[in-house]
Amino acid sequence: MAGPGMVDLTLRIRRFNPDVRPDPWWEEHTIEAEPNDRLLDALHRVKWYQDGTLSLRRSCAHGICGSDAMLINGRNALACKVLVKDVAPRVTVEPIRGLPVLKDLIVDMEPFFAGYRSILPFLVNESDPGDRERRQSPEERARFDDTTKCILCAACTTSCPIFWGDGEYVGPAAIVNAHRFVFDSRDQAGKERLAILAEKSGVFRCRTTFNCTEACPRGIKVTQAIQEVKRAVLFNRA
């Protein structure tokens, strides 16, 4: 029984360790936590006091680094942004879907980053900026403000059924990051990016399912960004 002001939380965790068993299995751990603790704190308590073999990624613990995206009660979220009081007395935790699981909650992010790299996620401008920085009006800056907020957590891409079923689709996170540069008035590689996204692995694989928008912990309008990029590809506008 939890002490005063505390709650019991049972974590049902999907485990995987190819060195121990060929298939995944479920394990349950019950810990005591403060209601305002994050789920990440609860996972730490399991790892530090009950089973040191539990593996997970995390770094900042404040919703910035994007490393602790996981499937929490069937929805993608950052464990550091979910409060114990919102899931107690029981929560199910699994690795994000659509990427190979390496161990427990850790997936191989390389296919995700390959999609990200494919859209040239950097500013391209060979012209001489002169003795001042390249200037931009507030309106020009606002055009791509939403998509600058991406933290590359992969919650969107790994919630997308098209991505699960098709290893070729670059996925919503890559398109969000293409949007960030395609609509940047200082960038000169928009047409190149749009040509990449017009290919069969690109934007037209999206079936407007909206899972990505629901999953984004940064509140980015992911599906809207994808629609804007689709229109830019169709009308060759960058």
Partner from ligand F3S, ligand SF4, ligand FES, none contacting 61, C-beta within 5 to 8 A by type: ligand FES
| Pairwise CA distance, residues 35 & 4, whole Å | 11
CB of 78 to ligand FES, least distance (A): 4
If binding is defined by CB under 6 A, does position 59 make contact with ligand F3S?
no
Peptide bond into 89 cis (omega under 30): yes
- Number of other residues whose CB lies within 10 A of the CB of residue 23: 6
Helix pair 222-234, 190-197: axis angle to 10 deg: 100
- Residue 197 Cα to chain centre, angstroms: 20
Among 54, 69, 162, 225, binds ligand F3S (CB under 6 A): 162
Comparing CB distances to ligand F3S, the nearer of 107 and 175 is 175
Q: Which helix (H) or strand (E) holds 234?
A: helix 222-234
Is 182 one of the binding residues for ligand SF4 (CB under 6 A)? no
What does 176 bind: ligand FES, ligand SF4, ligand F3S, none (CB cut-off 5 to 8 Å by kind)?
ligand SF4
CB of 5 to ligand FES, least distance (A): 25
Max CA pair span of the chain: 68
- Is there binding between residue 208 and ligand F3S (CB under 6 A)? yes
The residue range among 38-46, 126-134, 196-204, 213-221 that interacts with ligand SF4, by the rule CB under 6 A, is: 213-221
**Tokens in use for 5?**
């002001």
Torsion of CA 138, 139, 144, 145, to 10 degrees: 50
Answer for the pair 136, 123: CB distance below 8 angstroms, yes or no. no
Binding site for ligand F3S (CB under 6 A): 160, 162, 172, 206-212, 223, 226
Binding site for ligand SF4 (CB under 6 A): 66, 150-156, 173, 176, 215-216, 218, 220, 222
